[in-house]
Structure 1
Amino acid sequence: MPAQELLQPNPPADASLIPDEILKLRVDIPKDVLSATELKNIQDFRRAADYIAAAMIFLKDNTLIEEPIKHEHIKNRLLGHWGTCPGLTLVYAHLNALITRRNLESLLVVGPGHGAPAILSCLWLENSLGTFWPNYTRDRQGLTNLIKGFSVPGGFPSHINAETPGSIHEGGELGYALSVSFGAIMDKPNLVVCCVVGDGEAETGPTATAWHAYKYIDPAESGAVLPIVHINGFKISERTIYGCMDDKELTALFVGYGYQPRIVDDIENIDQDLASSMEWALTEIRKIQHAARSGNPIVKPRWPVLLLRTPKGWHTIKTLHGEYIEGSFRSHQVPLPEAKHDPEELRLLQEWLGSYNVQEVLPGGELSESVLSIIPKDDNMKLGQRKEAYAAYTPIEVPAWEDFGVQKGSQESCMKVVGKFLNTVTHKNPTSFRIFSPDELVSNKLDAVLAESDSGRNFQWDVASRGKGGRVIEMLSEHTCQGMLQGYTLTGRTGLFPSYEAFLGIVHTMMVQYSKFVKMAHETTWRQPVGSLNYVETSTWTRQEHNGFSHQNPAFIGAVLDLKPTLARVYLPPDANCFLSTMAHCLRAKDYVNLMVGSKQPTPVWLSPEEANRHCIAGVSIWKFCSTDGGVDPDIVLVGIGVELTFEVIAAAALLRKLLPQLRVRVVNVTDLMVLGPFGTHPHALTDSDWDALFTGDSDQGGNGGRYIHFNYHGYPQELKSLLFGRKGLDRVSIEGYREEGTTTSALDMMLQNHTSRYHVAAAAIRGAAKVNKAVEVDAHEMISYVMHLAQKDKDYIYANGADPEGTFDTPKFD
């Protein structure tokens, strides 16, 4: 069977179940957009781009093959992915032509991330590489540097990343290109993002859900995404699902999603087919936008999608050693893996690269007039130089958080208070701030954001919210919300992602991929800062006793702690005023991954706005009001990290004051977790002298040595142990946190099960203080036994009555 036929879909046995009438929904249009000259110019651009992409994978010398290729011209290690490259250069060439023809403002988002050779070759042709990377100028030397330097130490990697001009998407992990694209076009009414979705990527759950994202796009205020599904039929070694679907199945699928699909598969006339399809798609987009912006929006508009069928590894060798290469999975990576050593593979490489007749389109390493003609003349219109991709950040207007402060001594929900603040943020920033929430806004007590329609939800398929400019995207897909947040942030705006604590882990790897993008962006000289990626983690395990064990998981804290220290920020504000201060700070911050952990239930407001401001600036402080003698000369240092965990520390301090007044307690609260690491490990880390001042040092207390420190920590204890590693005196430290214990029970029982209750804290305090205070030592065993007896009595009450004892969470009193 010819290799070309491998691409043809295999009709399923029950294909007859899909009526032939479904094909009437397929869009058929004339294919006469390009003149003969335009057609030649596009084909020449593609030829040049394909040659460069292939040469990048193989050659380290003789880069324009001006002499026969020899084994010594081949790179020592062959890396790269050829299979997707011809399809990507095809799309890039036609998008360039469309930009030139229609003065289109566009970005290109590439789902097949390992298609870097294709994108880099096009960026070199349009001189975007040379603009940002002086080593890759658009001349013979620059081209040589690009080809020789690809996928070798010190050169471009094999996938698209932040070093790639025009990119807003890290191409390592598949599934997120589409949602990122939708985030990018929000509040940018003139922008059209062309998103290439590989048929391998299309198999992922995040991509499958992201097809619904256009239902959250208001064409009156936002731009449009033009998805192009690149169906070349194969992954690394297997057929793709889309590659095995016939035209009826694909049409039915995308009509069901709500799109107008157009299948582009005329291989003999692919340029005319794609050019006419892209013209049609842009015309449809403009119709939808014009209707919305004229006050007569189309209800449930059908946006266009192009389904592009091309052979896998198009134009490479046909067969090798009796196996099909073009049109099969064997062209996915390096079609000729032994070209450096095998004479037959070297001969085939010479034939393949020679077939492009590169001297016609890149004479002497310069561009022919035909290739130049389809490249936008205005640098600002080039795909690699759009400012939305690298220099678009505009700070949002953040209101004075103190105006929303609540009274010290009251009990308030951190989320309810900050929700009112965020409502004002949305009003002040109607085109540059959005909240991306996985359907939990009301449950998380942030519903004050929805108080007015213009700051409410933006679900365009809901008659109650369509066309009202809402700032909230609420969709029960963490992946899609995360992708849209990334696209929105990387194109210059500011966003927020509130979530149940237990389910932020769903986007763990997406967050890590994003942080890698930002890390590499920091290392370029031309990418400007972007707003921080802001997470609100609430509905925490400490108050998820009603939903049970499945909803109890603080692991996302550790995921952020593992990031590059210059990027990671973790905050655990202890009350509503501190949370307001932290939120205002994070919304102004740039280039970080900010995680804010707080409670949605009413809890004591320990600090006034002025006190909260000072505490948050410091990141950690001694809380004198609940310490013995203001914290002077303590026997034990008790540290609370997290809202409820801090409450238990303060409750323990009050209990100890009654039961064991001779025990001297210092209470410390940590709101900025990163201050705890050894000095130099994080920009916020305390100096050794500041650490000693807060937690006591070995030379303190008249030479008697530092005091024992007990941490009551919201997350997993091992996270804190890892963070503290390298600090002096860790033999004086004990830590309790979430022990992976829980069920549907009461709030206090959750603390008891995880040894973070006031009773466990008090017992730890007595043990530590007994080592330095003889007056405590003589009563230590008796008092520890009594304290744990009180714990058991409370547990018995909870299991007998189904609720915590009355007054359990009243604010502790210190006389």
Structure 2
Amino acid sequence: MSKLEQLEQPALTDDELAAVDAYWRAANYLSVGQIYLLDNPLLTEPLRPEHIKPRLLGHWGTTPGLNFCYAHLNRAIKALDLDMMFVTGPGHGGPALLANSWLEGSYSQAYPAVARDGKGMRTLFRQFSFPGGVPSHVAPEVPGSIHEGGELGYSLAHAYGAAFDNPDLIVACVVGDGEAETGPLATSWHANKFCDPVGDGAVLPILHLNGYKIANPTVLARIPRDELDALLRGYGHKPYYVEGHDPEAMHQAMAEVVDAAIADIRAIQRQARDGGPSRRPRWPMVVLRTPKGWTGPGSVDGVPVEGTWRSHQVPLSGVRDNPDHLRQLEEWLRSYRPGELFDGDGAPVARLGELVPDGQRRMGANPHANGGLLLRDLELPDFRDYAVAVDQPGVTSSEPTRVLGRFLRDVLRDNADTANFRLFGPDETASNRLDAVYEVTGKAWQSPIVDTDENLSAHGRVVEVLSEHVCQGWLEGYLLTGRHGLLSCYEAFVHIVDSMFNQHAKWLKVSRGLPWRRPVASLNYLLTSHVWRQDHNGFSHQDPGFIDHVVNKKADIIRVYLPPDTNTLLSVGDHVLRSKNYVNVIVAGKNDSPNWLSVDEAVLHCARGAGIWDWAGTEAEGEEPDVVLGCAGDAPTLEVLAAASLLRRHLPSLRVRVVNVVDLMRLQSATEHPHGMTDREYDTLFTADRPVIFAYHGYPWLIHRLTYRRNGHDNLHVRGYKEEGTTTTPFDMLVLNDMDRFQLVTDVIDRVPGLGRRAAGVRQSMQDNRTRHRYWVRQHGEDLPEVRDWEWSDGRTG
């Protein structure tokens, strides 16, 4: 055969074309059946209204395109023995992934009751979007998925997170053209600049242009071809195009393009791994343009459906009541020729099996998509080796996150061989004082490096891009495929990923109930540059509300830690890196602050989660306090201790107890949260009837929400952030929000019965100090010397 004849040969032989088309038709049939059928799954009798579900839910429009991609990727996996995952961006493509996992057998492997036969097919159909069944989108229940399809925008970031440190893995990521309009997805196109062809796997984006969202056309499907091409090439991709309507021509074109893209990926990796020229590659991608609702009803009730927004959800909505709709549905289902696809028992025929990869090569059975199967515990150094010395409380100081950075540096070092830990952040690793990590690794970077750059490396394990969305998506993809990581972020701006956190927490909640899903490493947030030390950046950088958002989720999933000093931060950091299946939120300062506890004391305190600091209080053994000063967070702890010191000096007969809370969820009842205290434990710490003045890092009403059922709740008075802020000094931020030491002392005087009359002079002095502060800070631009230079003492001498 001449070279010219070889070029003219179609990508698929007649047998291959027939096999891939049969598989695609089978997946389409199964998808339509899930949306509509309650019974009669093999159409062994004419359809009747009682065969139809009473509520028609699900989304057809994107589904045939997803099935098309899955079929062609299967062919490539089998032909080339590829290790490949499938990530679906189009939100409600659930019918497609359920259909394909059932066809390939991975669904029945996870759910033996849903066998690959007629009975199992009936169950597959009945459970879809049905009470007690499975959702209409790609959810944890679907084998092979790591991506919650209920919300758009995150698929590409998840795909790259999965590819990091998986050098043999290819992640095929279908990006919906509606999804492509979201901010997170639009930014995620830049992830290819961080993908190392030596140590990472590859992502094959498939931009699926079917033209419409729920009710409107999509931007990328309507812009001119040359404009789209320029955009994608500008993002650094080499796009291949597959466009059309005719199945046979589209199969041939898709097979050719997939083979070419895989060849490009392998060539890029081979060149990089053989020591070729060090330059950022232009990774391939596929642009697939198909009609929305492809192969479905062309028109319904005289209006176009296929190729329009009307096919987005359920093209035939009146099937139970409208005989013409019922007739169209039966014609639609029979157009896939199910008698050729399934045998008399309902099992897929042998021809369909020709396209199914073996074992773990099936995308629904790929172990990377069930990351707990691959998870290895981190090698962690002993965090005690990084502790700061504390002979007496408050005498020395340190920068908590800077010390934690040294611990994380050695976590990266000790796990370099297994390549299963990364640090993510939006351009803030150094700002957040974690820059010790650069002693062992650089920041991932595949673009040119100039002389003035620092800490950039083609093989770096710190990953930064100024998009919290992309950082979160990378980390989620990394965790869900069996690795460990941590996201460091300014506290105020972690709100950007509120919705992404929601989806991940929901994923963990559902996956905990699936015995075949193995636990994955926890999603760990380190929130620093926090509200009380954003005095220089001002009001826009002052927001502690992410905690409020987090505690809305299931108690089995979320943990919130507020370490008051460096050694407690080290203990908490070690704990969260060992944990699985949680979302851990740590809020800790980066600025120089007092060291309160030795490392041994810190370990005990963190194990308790909340405890009395007897050295700070004045109650005698066996006596109940007159007042409890509670605190959670580093700045509140400092103010409570300063207030306790003032009370010792000015009101020495007052019995004061200081309680610090490091694990915020200890405040909740044991019946509501696994870390919660029993009422007896709570009363032992806070008493059942004495005034409690509580200084809290965030919005004060959260403490009331967590404790509203407790004894003595009417005696609880909480100080925290009241949405008062500006560019000012650290102490002025506390004064603006009434959480300063002088106000806390005033609160004690106002709330301890009978104390107001005896301590009127002290109260006036405290309020005078606040007034004096106000004048001083506006005249001198810094805090009062007695505040700025304050050190802990027993209160009698300072």
Q: Look up the match of 2:607.
A: 617
Q: Secondary structure at the match of 2:137?
A: coil
Residue in 1 that maps onto 2:221: 243
Deviations 1:256-284 (A, max 9, x none): 11110111114331111111111111111
- In the other structure, the counterpart of 1:254 is 232
Given that 1:132 and 1:165 are in contact with CA atoms closer than 8 Å, whether structure 2 keeps it comes out as: yes
Q: Distance in 2 between matches of 1:292 and 1:763?
A: 67
Aligned equivalent of 1:406, options 388, 402, 406: 388
Alignment pair present for 1:747 and 2:730: yes
The match for 2:412 is: 426
For 1:387 and 1:260, locate their aligned partners in 2 and report how far apart those are by CA, in whole Å: 29
CA distance in 2, matches of 1:726, 1:591: 28
The alignment's TM-score, normalised by the length of structure 2, stands at 0.95
Residue among 263, 268, 281 paired with 2:241: 263
Equivalent runs, 1:152-171 vs 2, <5 Å: 152-171=130-149
Q: Does 1:307 align with 2:287?
A: yes
Report 1:62-211 matches (<5 A). 62-211=40-189
- 2:781 corresponds to: 802
Q: In the aligned structure 1, how far is the partner of 2:235 from the partner of 2:641?
A: 54
In structure 1, C-alpha distance between the alignment counterparts of 2:183 and 2:343, rounded to whole Å: 46
The separation in 2 between residues aligned to 1:300 and 1:525, in whole angstroms, is: 42
Paired residues of 2:558 and 2:582 also in contact (CA < 8 A): yes
What is the deviation of 1:791?
1.2
Residue matched to 1:502: 492
Aligned partners of 1:479 and 1:297: how far apart in 2? 32
Preserved contact between residue 445 and residue 458 of structure 2 (Cα < 8 Å): no
Structure 1 range deviating more: 532-541 or 653-662:
653-662
Residue type of the partner of 1:418? Answer: L
Worse-superposed segment, 145-154 or 591-600: 145-154
1:221-270 Cα shifts (integer Å, max 9, x gaps): 01000000010000111100011022211111111111101111143311
Equivalent residue of 2:615, what SS?
Answer: helix
Q: Match for 1:557 among 523, 541, 547?
A: 547
1:473 is displaced (CA, Å) by 0.5
Q: Secondary structure at the match of 2:443?
A: coil
5+ residue gaps, structure 1: 1-28, 698-705
Deviations 1:407-426 (A, max 9, x none): 21311111111011110111
1:693 aligns with 2:684: yes
CA separation of 1:807 and 1:469: change in aligned 2, threshold 3 A: farther
CA contact (8 A) 2:442 2:456 kept: no
- Correspondence 1:481 to 2:471: yes
Does residue 1:356 correspond to 2:322, yes or no?
Answer: no
Residue 606 in structure 1 maps to residue 596 in structure 2: yes
Q: What is the identity, as a one-letter code, of the residue corresponding to 1:729?
A: G
Alpha-carbon spacing, 1:530–1:630, altered in 2? closer, same or farther (3 Å): farther
| TM-score normalised by L of structure 1 | 0.93
SS at match of 1:230: strand
Q: Which deviations, in whole Å up to 9, do the C-alpha atoms of 1:370-404 show, x marking residues without a partner?
A: 1110101x211111111111122111111110000
Distance in 1 of aligned mates of 2:13 and 2:756: 94
Structure 2 residue 716 is the aligned partner of structure 1 residue 733: yes
Partner of 1:339: 319
CA contact (8 A) 2:683 2:711 kept: no
2:355 to 374, 384, 387: 374
Q: Which amino acid aligns with 2:474?
A: M
Q: Does 1:678 align with 2:693?
A: no
CA–CA distance in structure 2, aligned partners of residues 126 and 304 of structure 1: 27
Q: Does 1:580 align with 2:563?
A: no
Match of 2:303 among 318, 323, 327: 323
**Does the CA contact (< 8 Å) of 1:199 and 1:243 recur in 2?**
yes
Large movers: runs of 4+ above 3 Å: 464-468, 629-632
- Structure 1 residue matching 2:660: 3-state secondary structure: strand
Deviations 1:463-516 (A, max 9, x none): 266655321101000000000000000001011001001000000110010110
> Does the 8 A contact of 2:293 with 2:312 survive in 1?
yes
Q: How far apart are the structure 1 equivalents of 2:566 and 2:504? A: 29
CA contact (8 A) 1:291 1:298 kept: no
Deviation at 1:663, TM superposition (A): 1.5
Partner Cα distance (2:69, 2:302) in 1: 31
State the SS of the aligned residue for 1:306: strand
Contact residue 311 and residue 327 of structure 1 kept, 8 A = yes
Q: Is the 8 A contact 1:218 1:467 kept in 2?
A: no
Alpha-carbon shift at residue 799 of structure 1 (Å): 0.9
Say whether residues 1:451 and 2:439 are aligned partners.
yes
Partner of 1:38: 16
Give, in angstroms, the shift of residue 782 of structure 1.
3.1
Deviates more, 1:552-561 or 1:265-274: 265-274
Change (3 A) 1:240 1:30: farther
Q: Which amino acid aligns with 2:694?
A: F
Matching of residue 650 in structure 1 with residue 641 in structure 2: yes
* AA partner of residue 554 (structure 1): P
Q: Which moved more, 1:743-752 or 1:687-696?
A: 687-696
Distance 2:656 2:619 in 1: 9
Map of 1:396 onto structure 2:
378
Q: What SS class does the counterpart of residue 765 from structure 2 fall into?
A: helix
CA contact (8 A) 1:623 1:630 kept: no
Q: Distance in 1 between matches of 2:146 and 2:559?
A: 22
Aligned partner of residue 590 in structure 1, secondary structure: coil
Determine the C-alpha separation between the residues in 1 that align with 2:601 and 2:171.
47
Q: Deviations over 1:670-721 (max 9, x none)?
A: 0000000022110011122211211123xxxxxxxx2111110001011111
Query: CA RMSD of the aligned region, Å?
Result: 1.3
Could you tell me whether the CA contact under 8 Å between 2:443 and 2:457 is conserved in 1? no
Cα separation, 2, equivalents of 1:277 and 1:539: 48
Matched, 1:461 2:447: yes
Distance 2:717 2:723 in 1: 18
SS in 1 for 2:787: coil
Relative to structure 1, the CA distance from residue 301 to residue 487 in structure 2 (aligned partners, 3 Å threshold; closer, same or farther) is same
Per-residue deviation at 1:462? 4.1
Q: 1:630 to 1:83 in 2, by over 3 A?
A: farther
The answer on whether the counterparts of 2:424 and 2:464 sit within 8 Å (CA) in structure 1 is yes
CA deviation map 1:130-155 (0-9, x unaligned): 00012211111111110122111111
Match of 1:515?
505
- The 2-side partners of 1:30 and 1:55 are apart by 39
Residue identity opposite 1:610 in structure 2: D
Secondary structure in structure 2 of the residue aligned to 1:536: strand
Deviation at 1:780, TM superposition (A): 3.1
Identity %: 45
Distance 1:645 1:206 in 2: 35
Partner of 1:11: none
Please give the alpha-carbon distance, in whole angstroms, between the structure 2 residues aligned to 1:754 and 1:305: 52
Matches of 1:30 and 1:424 in 2, distance apart?
57
Q: CA deviation at 1:113?
A: 2.6
The residue matched to 1:735 in structure 2 has which SS? strand
- Alpha-carbon distance in structure 1 between the residues aligned to 2:624 and 2:473: 51
Q: Is the 8 Å Cα contact of residues 404 and 421 (structure 1) preserved in structure 2?
A: yes
Relative distance call for 1:262 and 1:630 in structure 2 (3 A) is farther
Q: Match for residue 4 of structure 2? A: none
Corresponding letter in the other structure for 2:338: V
